[in-house]
Amino acid sequence: MSEWQLSSLTQLCNRSLPSCSTVECLDIREDQGSGPRWQDDIENAQWIDLLHPFTAVKDLYLSKELVLRVALALQEPIGATEVLLMLENLFLERLQPSRLVQEAIGPFITARQSSNHPVTVHYLEEGE
């Protein structure tokens, strides 16, 4: 998916704000059998913009291809304080937690704990 495709998806979610704001479980993944993959030109702020309307999400699932991208976006100060405020569980598709992913998601988890909104990270095997 390219930068403009993510931007279009974000606009759609923002237009559907009443619907998005009630979603409690969000699963973001890359379908292995489908067309183009996520491109590297997507900035952290674009991921934050995409997640912003999902204010009621308690469970967020990320496929292994997106774990690091979204984790890095959540490092941003706005990521911990203004998005996914109701998040309780973060499910990361990985065979095992990598040091890179742990370091990337660490600041978000710490910020959430400091604000009395802790998030539990769960590592899932592929396809769980």
- Mean pLDDT in residue range 29-56: 72
Q: Would the pTM of this model clear 0.85, i.e. be above it?
A: no
Give percent of the chain with pLDDT exceeding 90.
20
**What's the pLDDT score for residue 121?**
92
- Mean pLDDT in residue range 7-35: 73
Task: Enumerate the domain spans of the chain.
Answer: 3-124
82 confidence band (pLDDT: 50, 70, 90): confident
- Tens digit of each residue's pLDDT (9 = 90 or more) over 36-48: 455 555 788 888 8
User: Do 64 and 89 contact (CB within 8 A), yes or no?
Assistant: no
90 confidence band (pLDDT: 50, 70, 90): very high
Average pLDDT, the chain: 80
* 60, pLDDT greater than 90: yes
**What's the pLDDT score for residue 88?**
96
